[in-house]
Chain A
Amino acid sequence: MTILGPILMAGIGIVPIYLSMQKTETQKIEVIDESFLFTYMSKDSVQKGLIPENDQVHFDYPPISIQDARAGFYETEYDGILYIPKVVLNGGQNGINLFYKKQLSNQVQEHIAGELQKMIFNLMLAQNKVDVNFIKDAKEKSTFSMITTRVDEKGKDKKTNTGLNIAIGLICAFLIYFFIFMYGVQVMRGVMEEKTNRIVEVILSSVKPFQLMMGKIIGVALVGLTQFLLWVVFTGALYTVASATLLKNVDIKQIQQKEQVIKVGADLNYNQMKQNPKQNEITQLWNDFKGINMLEILLCFMFYFLGGYLMYSALFAAVGSAVDSEADTQQFMMPITIPLVLSFVVAQTIIQNPESSMAFWFSVVPLTSPIVMMVRLPFGVPAWEMWLSMSMLVLGFLFTTWLAARIYRTGILMYGKKVTWKELGKWLFYKG
């Protein structure tokens, strides 16, 4: 998984781009333009086209009727016939028909429809004597993105970007959820392995049960961190290498811009799109990003990740020690997974309203705080709530570790008995 993970991750990033870049053959389309709005005759009476082409579509404008074109369709090299009827404005555009032999790609169809729509739009403006430039101008000048500003206790303004905050909060919460689960179960498996293959008794003659348990938990944490770092590095490296070799001749930014353009399709001006507004938005996002205290978030992430992991993995270790086989883990896993899953579900509600009292309680109770607090953090959390939540987490960690250690030292040496909750309770009070 250490090696396979990054390959899969990089693959997820690269394959779609690579596939979308696979050059399809240029489709040749003959245009029968009865309206003559998309064609013009020059002096030497050769028809020329006005519909923009790209590397996927090429248009020809043969001076023949649609009947002739259709009759001879299969004798020609053309992949399609684009028929434009005489009246094409004010509803007439519904008569535009694209005939083809073999299925034309979605991109080709979208390109044709999009370009025609733009041209018809401009034609209509011209027909009604509306200034194209005015529309362009008005549209440009009326777009804006609302500024949201947080006023803190000292009356200072703080620019925020709700979308960005949500994104950061959810990503952090998901990572913590994911890692607690993954490595917690790994701890449980490790404990069970030692118990079922009976090496535990030999080891316990050298070290204390508590040392063995904490060793396992810390060991898995270090494995996890190493794996995580390797993933980040490998994925990054693979992505760079693969995109450099596979997509040698393509500038990724260009692709993305093109995709944007295709999507917007019906917009006013083709050229204008390439330039400013997008650029502004990115700089704006970057500024907002800088506005967030990333160091604080990173430190809190580390704290809640470690605290949450230590707390939960102690419980997972206790479960692993109490059972003889994986099948028996179910009944004890439940109470551990429920708060974990619950906090992840609740986090998605809390993100809509990070200052509610529900948000407060869930971010203070140790079992849910690692995930819920991460969601609230980018929106700003009062210092005293942070301290309360953090101290509660430390207390929670100490308590669960104490609890787990008591169950562990008895359970790890107990074989062939189906353990009940009542039994677990008794183990807590055994001496030494």
Chain B
Amino acid sequence: MNILSAKNIVKRYAGHTALNDVTVEIPEQSIYGLLGPNGAGKTSLIRIINQITGPDSGELYFMGEHLTQKHVEQIGYLPEERGLYKKMGVGEQALYLAQLKGMGKQEAKKKLKEWFEKFEMSAWWNKKVEELSKGMQQKVQFIVTVLHEPRLLILDEPFSGFDPINANLIKNEILDLKKKGSTILFSTHNMGSVEELCDNIALIHKSKKILDGSVKDIRKQYKSNVFELEFTGNMMGFTNAMWTGAELLEHTTDGEYNKARVKLLGKNSSNDLLQAIIPVAQIQSFREVVPSMNDIFIKVVGDKNILGTQSNFTE
């Protein structure tokens, strides 16, 4: 079952369209990546899912029901540009924000204490937010976002502002939350973390969704029959053997040792290639080159207008 379906969402602002007929289906208990260049419309979509703004047209469903205000208690949101009341105490503020999400005071207090201990920050409870470093504030914000155990967790660039150690801590928490049954929608530019974490993605470009599906399928879909071979033997013999079945893209030679990237042509399979080469070369490794998400992103979005359209809103 899909925890969230956004169907045919359109959002216009004066002078430009932020979302043009975007449909997104987020399966339950998965990690869903929302990708796209700056200004593509990611934050607009996230705000609509959070019911901060409404769509001009289109419909939203949460676990099959129409999305309404009562669902906010089941959603946790960590915006990209995040802040806290600077003059307010850390613990007091976390309690307040938890209660806004419908938690009881005692329950919230108990859980907060647990999280504060887990992240080794119990000593901060009575400090004012302005006394904390930016990284510390981010931790507080993360805790506040997940405290009420939302079924859907929306994280906008969750790793920005964290040092590698804390980023890892957060990453593990995200995986842990998924294991416990939460669904995570996260928006990022960091393609490495997409490959590492996401089950599914949607790519939005210039207000339109131009690609979606599971990460595995997409990478499969974008592979272009390129194989990498390492072998010892005569390079000349190797090229002759390939002749019409495949095209040599690049190669390096280090004495007897060769490394080559070849692209299969026509209907030839990897087995055909191997059969042709085995007689002339001693193969050490053979693997298919699967494109990284980064490659796919660049390929799909293209080098045209990567900076995106102008937008009134922060992305």
Contacts and interface: CB of A to CB of B under 8 A. Distances in A.
A414 interface: yes
A197 B313 contact: no
A129 interface: no
B114 interface: no
B313 A206 contact: no
A414 B77 CA distance: 18
A320 to B, nearest CB: 15
B56 A431 contact: yes
B236 interface: no
A413 B77 contact: no
B82 A413 contact: no
A299 interface: no
B45 to A, nearest CB: 14
Contact of B312 (A205, A208, A414): A414
Contact of A430 (B13, B47, B50, B85): B13
Contacts, number: 69
Contacts of B312: 414, 417
Contacts of A414: 312-313
Contacts of B13: 430
A206 B82 contact: no
B83 A197 contact: yes
A207 interface: yes
A202 B69 contact: no
Q: Which of A199, A414, A417, A431 has the most chain B CB within a 10 Å cutoff?
A: A199
A206 B14 CA distance: 26
Contacts of B82: 198-199, 201-202
A432 B72 CA distance: 17
Given A207-B100, A432-B55, A413 B47 contact: yes
Nearest to A203: B100
B100 A413 contact: no
Contact of A413 (B53, B84, B85): B53
Given A206-B100, A414-B313, A426-B14, A199 B50 contact: no
B81 A206 contact: no
Contact of B79 (A194, A202, A209, A431): A202
A74 B76 CA distance: 90
Contacts of A205: 50-52, 72, 75, 77, 79
Contacts of A432: 53-56
Contact of B85 (A199, A204, A206, A209): A199
| Majority DSSP secondary structure for residues of A touching B | loop
- For chain A, which range describes its interface: under 10, 10 to 19, 20 to 34, or 35 or more residues? 20 to 34
B193 to A, nearest CB: 22
Interface in A200-250: 201-209
A387 interface: no
A418 to B, nearest CB: 11
A270 interface: no
A399 interface: no
Given A416-B314, A431-B56, A198 B81 contact: yes
Contacts of A209: 52
Q: Which of A193, A199, A201 has the most chain B CB within a 10 Å cutoff?
A: A201
A423 B15 CA distance: 11
Contact of A201 (B56, B72, B81): B81
Interface string A263-277: 000000000000000
Given A201-B52, A202-B79, 9 more contacts: A203-B97, A205-B72, A205-B77, A205-B79, A206-B72, A206-B100, A206-B101, A417-B312, A426-B14
Interface of B: 13-14, 47, 50-56, 69, 72, 75, 77-79, 81-86, 97, 100-101, 141, 144-145, 312-314
11 contacts: A197-B83, A198-B82, A199-B85, A202-B78, A202-B79, A204-B52, A205-B52, A208-B69, A209-B52, A414-B313, A426-B14
